[in-house]
Structure formats: C-alpha cells, structure tokens
C-alpha cells in the first residue's frame, strides 16, 4: 500500500519516525510531507532515510517545479497525518491550501486518517472540536488522542497514541476491502465426553475464529459460524451453529459445505474421542484408569477431498517444527492456505488476544507475519481470499 504520511509541527513529530519505520516493515511504501514547523522538531533527512524516499516540505523550493502536491495526492492509497496539530486540522476543515501538505490533502481522493496531538485546552476548544466534527462528517477518520502527561507538563487528553497502535489501525484500515462471499468459519474447542460430568478438551477460547467471523461480517460476507466450546458472544449478523463434539462439528460443516465459497477452520478439533462414553459418572476405584480412544474424522481432510469451487484455509497449531508440520497438513488436507501458529510462543495461539502467524500457500509461498491482534490477523486471512 502507498501511504502518504503528513507530519506537522508538534513535539510528537518524533513518534512519526517510528510510525514510518513500522509501516515500512509491514510492507508499505511510505512518502512523507512535513510542514515547515515539523522540520523544527525532526529533520527532513531522518524521514528520508527511514522512508527511503525524498521528503517534501516546500513545493516551490525545487528548481524544477512540478506540481508535486498533485502527484503525491494521486500516488497515495491512504493519507495519514500524525501528529496533526490544531492548525492543520483547522486548515483541512476549511479547505485552506497554503503549503505542500494542506494542498495535497485538498487534492487527494485517497482516504485520510488524522491523529490529533496537542495541548488539552487546544483540543477541547470549541473551534478544534467543531473542526474535528466537520472532518468526521466528511468521512475522515480521526484516531482519538490518548490521555496522559503532555509535553507542556499538564495532564489530560491530547497525546499522540503510541506508534504501534496507530500502525495497527492503519493496517486494519487497509485490510477492509469488501468480501462478497459466503464463508464458513469454525471456532473453539471441541469437547469429547468421558461420562456425564467429564470431558476431554483443549485450551481454545474461540477468539481467533470469532475474530474472523467479526471482520468478515463487517466486510459484507455472509458468515456461518460453527462453534464448539467458546467463551464469547457470537458476533451480530452471523448464522450461529453450536457443535460441541468433533462428530457434531463434522456433520454441521459437511451439511453447509456445498453452499459456501470458503471455509476457515480455526476450531481446535480433538483428534480422538472416547470409545465407550459411560452413561453414569465413573466411580473412583482402581489406582489407574484406562480410557480407550478412537480417531475422529479429519473434517478438513474430508473437505479437501470433495471441494469444488471452495477455498480451504486451515490452521496448524504447533509446538515444534512449525513450517514442516504445517506444510504437511496443507498437503495432506489439500488446502489453499494454512495459517501456522506456534502455540508455545508468548502472545500467540490459545486464549491470547494476539497471535503470531505464518501463512503458507499451496504454491509454496511462505509469509511470516509480526505479532498482531487476532482482529488484525483475521483481516490478513480474509485478504488471502480476495487477493490471491
């Protein structure tokens, strides 16, 4: 994605350097426009080095003037202004175009995201609030300033949020292409009864699958969410189906398979179930107790055998040899993609709000993703369905 970053004259301008770096690392091309006041806080050279692109400040400074503002305005897929002073917010709200940044913003058709950063009183001033409201009404997204100690030594709202937070929002934004399809998502931990009061299960909370269903609904997909044990409320708008055991999930998934365009299996499905489920609570007696387990059907593998138009995305929850094991599962189950996660890594796998994933495609492409929220990862996974 081509991101145009506008940096204005605030002490928080130094944070825009990290924003540039993080956006680059996430695979974006970044060009920076600084206002003259911004250059009093951070040098033009710093942004040029990090972005690996020339930085624009004064459109008339070059000997060969070439309407750079128009070029940049149409080059950008997204314009981000961080930090945005009260001054630039007022200019944008009123259509003032008196330097490279404000002129470019007036000329662009790209979505604009603004991160205000200023003293609390300047922020709460009716003029600024009215300008922000105007911008919101025009469809410009505002990332709310954080509350804390400000550079002017007062405490209040007005801090630029942390670069990681801003970048995550940008990445989310870029991931919001419409998803005109019918999607089946599985989630949660299957439970395999032992007797009426006990069962075998695992640590899945359903967060990964519910995040995918949530983001897919937001992007216009029709979603069937087949959920085993999970601690969450189903997202509004999904067709919700409960399936507690692997066998129940198997039946429900197969029942709906022909009607969908894609299946994403995040559910942690038990590979085995108890052969003879006791109808009564098993009494404590001998020192050891042996349970005989039988293999459950491999739902994805079955889908891989009968798929026609459907795209299949599986997950691989691994504790060792991540790539090797995931590649084997991708092959054996005839998947289009597999999302491999090492469930022993901090911030990845079960129960966390974040995940660290590697995408592997059936054509052999491997993409390592950084740690991100499960919602952001959900969007990345959904992108696989429309982009590749």
Nearest to ligand PMT of 13, 268 (CB atom) = 268
Tokens 């640590």: give the residue.
Answer: 203
H or E segment at 346? none
Report DSSP letters for 8-35, one per residue: -SSTTHHHHHHHHHHHHHTT-EEEEEE-
Contact residues for ligand PMT, defined by CB under 6 A: 204-208, 246, 265-269, 271, 296, 298-300, 314-317, 329, 341, 343, 349-351
Q: Is 72 helix (H, G, I), strand (E, B) or coil?
A: helix
What the block records as the tokens of 276 is 């003879």
Distance, CA of 205 to CA of 184 (rounded, Å) = 18
16: number of CA atoms within 13 Å, CB side? 36
CB 343, min distance to ligand PMT, A? 5
Of 22 and 374, the one with the shorter C-beta distance to ligand PMT is 374
Beta-bridge partners for 241: 226
> Least distance from C-beta 321 to ligand PMT, angstroms?
12
Residue closer to ligand PMT by CB (options 78, 268) is: 268
CA 348 to CA 374: how far, in whole Å?
Answer: 9
Query: How many CB atoms sit inside 10 A of residue 23's CB?
Result: 25
Rounded Cα gap, residues 159 and 68, in angstroms? 31
d(CA 379, CA 18): 23
Distance between the two ends of the chain, CA-based, in angstroms?
Answer: 16
Q: Contact 83/94 with Cβ under 8 angstroms?
A: no
- Residue 325 has which token pair? 């094991």
Q: CA-to-CA distance for 35 and 59, rounded, in angstroms?
A: 11
Q: How far is the CB of 261 from ligand PMT (least distance, A)?
A: 18
Specify the residue, 205 or 310, whose C-beta has the smaller distance to ligand PMT.
205
**Among the options 67, 127, 149, 152, which is catalytic?**
152
Shortest distance (Å) from residue 344 CB to ligand PMT:
11
Contact between 274 and 292 (Cβ < 8 Å):
yes
| Burial class (CB within 10 angstroms; exposed 0-12, middle 13-18, buried 19+) of 212 | buried
The distance of closest approach from Cβ of residue 207 to ligand PMT in the complex, given in angstroms and rounded to an integer, is: 3
Active site residue 152: yes
Per-residue CA distances from 26 to 48, 54, 95, 324 (Å): 18, 20, 32, 25
Beta-carbon-side half-sphere exposure of residue 240 (alpha carbons within 13 Å): 16
For helices 163-174 and 13-25, angle between their N-to-C axes, nearest 10 degrees: 50
Q: Among 39, 129, 57, 150, which Cα is nearest to 86's? A: 129
Q: How far is the CB of 361 from ligand PMT (least distance, A)?
A: 15
Nearer to ligand PMT, 35 or 296 (CB): 296
Residues known to be catalytic: 152
């Amino acid at each position: 994605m081509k991101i145009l970053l506008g940096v204005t004259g605030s002490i928080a301008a130094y944070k825009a350097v990290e924003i540039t770096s993080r956006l680059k690392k996430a695979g974006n091309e970044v060009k920076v426009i600084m206002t003259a006041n911004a250059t009093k806080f951070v040098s033009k050279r710093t942004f040029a080095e990090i972005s690996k692109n020339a930085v624009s400040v004064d459109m008339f400074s070059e000997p060969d003037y070439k309407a750079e503002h128009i070029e940049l305005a149409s080059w950008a897929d997204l314009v981000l202004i961080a930090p945005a002073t009260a001054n630039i917010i007022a200019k944008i709200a009123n259509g003032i175009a008196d330097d490279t940044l404000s002129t470019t913003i007036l000329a662009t058709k790209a979505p604009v995201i603004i991160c205000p950063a200023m003293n609390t009183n300047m922020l709460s001033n009716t003029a600024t609030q009215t300008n922000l409201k105007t911008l919101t009404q025009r469809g410009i997204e505002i990332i709310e300033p954080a509350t804390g100690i400000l550079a002017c030594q007062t405490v209040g709202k007005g801090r630029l949020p942390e670069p990681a937070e801003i970048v995550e929002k940008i990445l989310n934004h870029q991931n919001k292409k419409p998803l005109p399809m019918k999607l089946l998502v599985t989630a949660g931990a299957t439970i395999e009864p032992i007797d009426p009061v006990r069962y075998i299960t695992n640590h899945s909370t359903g967060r990964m699958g519910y995040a995918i269903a949530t983001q897919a609904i937001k992007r216009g997909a029709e979603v069937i969410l087949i959920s085993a044990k999970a601690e969450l409320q189903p997202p509004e708008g999904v067709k919700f189906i409960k399936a507690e055991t692997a066998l129940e999930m198997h039946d429900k998934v197969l029942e709906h398979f022909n009607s969908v365009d894609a299946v994403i299996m995040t559910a942690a499905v038990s590979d085995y179930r108890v052969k003879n489920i006791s109808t009564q609570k098993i009494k404590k007696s001998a020192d050891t107790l042996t349970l005989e387990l039988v293999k459950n059907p491999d739902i994805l593998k079955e889908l891989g055998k009968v798929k026609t138009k459907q795209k299949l995305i599986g997950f691989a929850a691994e504790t060792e040899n991540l790539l090797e094991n995931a590649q084997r599962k991708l092959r054996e189950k005839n998947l289009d993609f597999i999302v491999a996660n090492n469930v022993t890594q901090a911030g990845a796998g079960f129960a966390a709000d974040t995940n660290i994933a590697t995408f592997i495609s059936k054509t052999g492409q491997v993409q390592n993703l950084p740690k991100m929220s499960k919602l952001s990862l959900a969007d990345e996974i959904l992108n696989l369905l429309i982009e590749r």
